[in-house]
Amino acid sequence: MPILDHLWIILALPLAGAAINGLFGKRWPQSAVNSVAVGSVTLAFLAVAELVREFALLSPDQIPFIGSYFTWMVAGSFKVDFALQVDQLTVVMLLTVSFVGMLIHIYSTGYMAHEGGYYRFFSYLNLFMFFMLTLVMAANLIVMFVGWEGVGLCSYLLIGFWFLKKSAADAGKKAFIVTRIGDFGFTVGVLLVFATFGSIDFGTIFKAVASNPISEVTLTTICILLFTGAIGKSAQLPLYVWLPDAMEGPTPVSALIHAATMVTAGVYMVARMNPLFSRAPIAMLVVAIVGAVTAFYSATIGLVQTDIKKVLAYSTVSQLGYMFLGCGVGSYAAGIFHLMTHAFFKGLLFLAAGSVIHAMGGEQDMMKMGGLRAKIPVTFWTMLIATLAIVGIPGFAGFFSKDAILEAAQSGPHANLPLWLLGTAGVALTSFYMFRLAFLTFFGKPRYDEHKVHVHESPKNMTIPLVILAFFSIFGGWFAAPKLVGGIDYFEKFLAPVFSAYAPPMAEPAVLIGEPHVSPLMNLVRQTLGWPALAAVLGFLAAWWLYIKSPETPKRWAQSVRGLYLLLLNKYYVDEIYAALIVRPLLWISTNVLWHGVDEGVIDGVVNGSARVARASGSQFRKLQSGNMRSYAAWVLIGAVGFTVLLIALYVRVVH
Amino acid sequence: MSVIPVSWYLVLSAILFGLGVVAFVFKRNVITIFMSIELMLNAVNLAFVAFARALNQLDGLVFVFFVIVVAAAEAAVGLAIVIMLAQNRQSLSVERVNLLKF
């Protein structure tokens, strides 16, 4: 069991890559930086693959497999080990993160080839991989928190990668600060977990919660606090505002961090803490509501955005909402399933969008594209596959995962019909904005100056990752395919031990099986031609009609329902509302009270005041040093007389 | 033969010390000031010796030796300064020595 006994190797590889590139990469040629960065991540992926092989040989009672390396800190009964664990959920996350991460590293060698700070970019990207792998392998909440904050740091560094551009630097700060609001809740949640259970080890917590009845109020509070962290990290209402701005970063960063991996950390955390969430129905409902509302809400914003990356950003927020909806209605496996397929197709969408932007020489406005289909065929076909996958066309990866979520919302143990309706409506919106994106970009007549822009297909190291991801965007969901004909959802079955080991007793075993009394063919028809498929087709038809059939209509509509259009275009003015309600009052208080009042008035006042007193008294007292020796003698005499008088006075007092 | 009471010595010591102080403050000639310091020191020595005799202890005598030694050292340094002063200022008045001030 070479890797299982040395789990730390998987973390050490990207960390070493980050350190080497960060320290020496500046003087190295790009090829050397490439080999270190891509090499370390590829080795990490191979290590994960070997880990999976060894994991398959473990007997069920050895899972979760824990590797504890050293005791990190001890304070009274509070003890934190640097411990890593591997169970089915970890395996899924590890494979997704390392595989997509590796592809995006390869893609970046092409995309960033002409950028300054090449070594810096790859050093950050490797560091991100280190923290993300730490996050998913952590065996306790504190190590998880290290990864959690670490990926936040790398996100900040990479959003602000072009830090000379003010909007990029601001977006980085915004992402860091907004997620910090959620992390505050997360931190308090972790403290409350320790206060309640006396431990922060996952295994200990889960055993405790399964064997001892803990008051539901406490559990609900813990879960909602932890979920606050997830809201910030995974960009849910009301803390989603940082993610669209995060598109200021280089496109591979948007693909890796702000679509495929980091933003899904919140979903992973909720799924990891499932024994707690499952016992807090109110917290579950909150998760489901936030997820469903976010899924619908951000899809509406996506309808009218014209920046290709912004559309994808709102789409990411929306898809993350679906994942939380899945977790919230009790089907954690569906949430994680969607997390994985989403990593494939959304990573692909972003990389393809990057390829489009690359081809257009940096243009991101879809209104200035059009007709690119024939000129960049690889990008077109892969992006089309990703679009079909995210929309949920039967057979593509997104169909299986999104269907599992909506099915759980419709008929699962925590079914909730209004939320199912929101989710299904969201599918129609998703379908509309995704086909709108495809039509505006690849179809119709070119709306750019063909003499100025030389559209060209991207180099091999960019298109190959696209093709690989396209493959997984189709087949990545087929673990669940047997369910369509009445069989077993293998993905759900694989994850079942994680989600049923400490599940509350009344819950049914989570493996969903198609209705056995229906014939396989009938089952197939029922499963594929449900409401979500209908919604997707409706969205497609609307997009086709508005952007292919009569391209003048959108403008007319934008005029006739101007109010609604502007509301959507300006993202419901949420940024403006936050600015007015929070940012500006905060700035005013900081400027007028804390800065001019407390800092300048009190703190500077005390320091400057004592200096002024010292100066003023000094300028008076220095006159005592007159240079006249006899005056000194007089001072000595006065002092001696005064001292003598004092002594006599004290003597008199003591005696009498 | 009657013993002279210790208070007599103390009164004499106080008178000598007072004279030293007055001379130290009011005299201008640096040699005189120097002599007044010696006068104060010896007034204190007298008090020490008187007490040592009255209490029949050696401590006071030891102190006197120290005072004499320090006074000798002080005289060596002080007189050297006085000579330099006289050479540079052509005067022994302390009024003329007032450069070290604010």
Mean pLDDT of A281-302: 93
Nearest CA in chain B to A623: B102
Which is higher by pLDDT, A529 or A314?
A314
Q: Do B98 and A626 touch (CB under 8 A)?
A: yes
pLDDT at A452: 79
Q: State the burial class of residue A567 (Cβ atoms within 10 Å of its Cβ: 0-12, 13-18, 19+).
A: middle
Given a cut of 90, whether residue A99 has pLDDT beyond it is yes
Q: Do A627 and B101 touch (CB under 8 A)?
A: yes
Interfacial residues of A (vs B; Cβ cutoff 8 Å): 622-623, 625-630, 633-634, 637
Largest Cα–Cα separation, chain A:
122
pLDDT at A173: 92
What would the two tokens of residue A269 be?
């955390």
Which is higher by pLDDT, A488 or A545?
A545
pLDDT at A508: 52
pLDDT at A583: 87
What is the nearest CA distance from B96 to chain A, expressed in angstroms? 9
- Is-contact A305 A429, C-beta < 8 A? no
> What is the rounded CA–CA span in Å between residue A1 and residue A224?
39
Does the domain at B6-91 match CATH 3.20.20.140? Answer given as no
A574 CB-near residues (< 8 Å, 6+ apart): A238, A241
* Phi, psi dihedral angles at A7 (to 5 degrees): -60, -30
The residues spanned by each domain of chain B are 6-91
Which is higher by pLDDT, A415 or A195?
A195
Per-residue pLDDT of A123-180, as tens digits, reads: 999 999 999 999 999 999 999 999 999 999 999 999 999 989 999 999 999 999 999 9
How far are the Cα atoms of A111, A308, A322, A375 from residue A461, in angstroms, in the given order? 9, 22, 32, 18
Out of A33-47, A61-75, A464-478, pick the least confident. A61-75
pLDDT at A121: 93
Mean pLDDT of A323-336: 91
Kindly indicate whether the ipTM for this predicted assembly is greater than 0.90, answering yes or no.
no
pLDDT at A437: 92
Interfacial residues of B (vs A; Cβ cutoff 8 Å): 21, 24-26, 28, 33, 94-95, 97-102
Chain A, chain B: beta-carbon pairs less than 8 Å apart: 33
Residue A184 binned pLDDT confidence (cut-offs 50, 70, 90): very high
A117 CB-near residues (< 8 Å, 6+ apart): A161
Per-residue pLDDT of A207-265, as tens digits, reads: 988 888 888 899 999 999 999 999 999 999 889 999 999 998 899 999 998 888 899 99
Per-residue pLDDT of A356-400, as tens digits, reads: 998 888 888 888 888 888 889 999 999 999 999 999 888 889 888
Choose from A116-120, A444-448, B98-102 the range with maximum mean pLDDT.
A116-120
Q: Do B98 and A630 touch (CB under 8 A)?
A: no
Counting other chains too, the contacts that A214-217 makes at CB distance below 8 Å and 24 or more residues apart are: A214/A279, A216/A279, A216/A280, A216/A282
- Which helix H or strand E contains A86, and what residues bound it? strand A78-86
What would the two tokens of residue A463 be?
């298109």
Of A622, A629, A634, nearest to B94 by CB-CB distance is A629
Q: What is the 3-state secondary structure (H, E, C) of A332-376?
A: HHHHHHHHHHHHHHHHHHHHHHHHHHHHCCCCCEHHHCCCCCCCC
Match 């960063």 to its residue by tokens.
Answer: A253
Given a cut of 60, whether residue A511 has pLDDT beyond it is no
- To the question of pTM greater than 0.95 for the whole model, the response is no
> What is the rounded CA–CA span in Å between residue B27 and residue B25?
6
Per-residue pLDDT of A458-476, as tens digits, reads: 888 889 999 999 999 999 8
Mean pLDDT of A481-502: 82
Q: Which residues of chain B neighbour A623 with C-beta distances below 8 Å?
A: 102
Mean pLDDT of B46-53: 93
Choose from A144-148, A302-306, A411-415, A447-451 the range with maximum mean pLDDT.
A144-148
Q: Which residues of chain B neighbour A622 with C-beta distances below 8 Å?
A: 102
What is the percent of chain A where pLDDT is above 90? 52
- Is-contact B28 B89, C-beta < 8 A? no
pLDDT at A448: 83
- Is-contact A92 A232, C-beta < 8 A? no
pLDDT at A372: 85
> What is the rounded CA–CA span in Å between residue A612 and residue A604?
12
Given a cut of 70, whether residue A513 has pLDDT beyond it is no
Q: Do B102 and A622 touch (CB under 8 A)?
A: yes
What is the nearest CA distance from A626 to chain B, expressed in angstroms? 5
Helix A141-159 to helix A118-137 angle (10° resolution) is 160
Q: Which residues of chain A neighbour B98 with C-beta distances below 8 Å?
A: 626-629
> What is the rounded CA–CA span in Å between residue A491 and residue A516?
19
Per-residue pLDDT of B4-44, as tens digits, reads: 888 999 999 999 999 999 998 888 899 999 999 999 999 99
Exposed e or buried b for every residue in A286-301, given b needs 16+ CB within 10 A? bbbbbbbbbbbbbbbb
Peptide bond into A14 cis (omega under 30): no
pLDDT at B100: 80
What is the nearest CA distance from B36 to chain A, expressed in angstroms? 12
CA dihedral of residues A302, A306, A312, A316 (deg, nearest 10): -30
pLDDT at A39: 94
pLDDT at A50: 93
- Is-contact A250 A115, C-beta < 8 A? yes
How far are the Cα atoms of A83, A88, B25 from residue A56, in angstroms, in the given order? 21, 10, 103
Q: Which of A165, A173, A217, A170 is nearest to A196 (CA)?
A: A217
Per-residue pLDDT of A516-560, as tens digits, reads: 556 777 767 767 777 888 888 899 999 888 888 887 888 888 888
Per-residue pLDDT of A279-288, as tens digits, reads: 898 999 999 9
Quick one: CA dihedral A557, A562, A564, A568, positive or negative?
positive
Mean pLDDT of A286-296: 94
pLDDT at A367: 86
Q: Which of A345, A499, A473 is nearest to A412 (CA)?
A: A499
pLDDT at A573: 87
pLDDT at A518: 63
Residue A291 binned pLDDT confidence (cut-offs 50, 70, 90): very high
**End-to-end alpha-carbon separation of chain B, Å?**
61
Q: Do B25 and A633 touch (CB under 8 A)?
A: yes
> What is the rounded CA–CA span in Å between residue A97 and residue A343?
8
Mean pLDDT of A412-428: 88
pLDDT at B71: 93
pLDDT at A172: 92
Average pLDDT, chain A: 88
Q: State the burial class of residue B13 (Cβ atoms within 10 Å of its Cβ: 0-12, 13-18, 19+).
A: buried
What would the two tokens of residue A443 be?
């179809």
pLDDT at B39: 94
Q: Do A633 and B101 touch (CB under 8 A)?
A: no
Given a cut of 80, whether residue B55 has pLDDT beyond it is yes
- Is-contact A149 A183, C-beta < 8 A? yes
Peptide bond into A238 cis (omega under 30): yes
A514 CB-near residues (< 8 Å, 6+ apart): A483, A484, A485, A486, A487, A523, A527
Of A622, A627, A634, nearest to B25 by CB-CB distance is A634
pLDDT at B32: 92
pLDDT at A610: 95
> What is the rounded CA–CA span in Å between residue A605 and residue A610?
8
Quick one: CA dihedral A314, A319, A320, A324, positive or negative?
positive
Interface test with A, best of B28, B91, B94 (most A CBs within 10 A): B94
> What is the rounded CA–CA span in Å between residue A112 and residue A25?
15
pLDDT at A42: 95
pLDDT at A560: 82
Q: Do A627 and B28 touch (CB under 8 A)?
A: no
> What is the rounded CA–CA span in Å between residue A217 and residue A33?
52
pLDDT at A516: 53
Interface test with B, best of A619, A625, A630, A631 (most B CBs within 10 A): A630
Q: Which residues of chain B neighbour A625 with C-beta distances below 8 Å?
A: 100-102
Which is higher by pLDDT, A399 or A655?
A399
Nearest CA in chain A to B95: A628
Could you write out the DSSP letters of every residue in A23-47? HHGGGS-HHHHHHHHHHHHHHHHHH
Match 């996958």 to its residue by tokens.
Answer: A389
Q: Which residues of chain A neighbour B25 with C-beta distances below 8 Å?
A: 630, 633-634, 637
Q: Which of A99, A36, A18, A34 is nearest to A465 (CA)?
A: A99
* Phi, psi dihedral angles at A277 (to 5 degrees): -60, -40
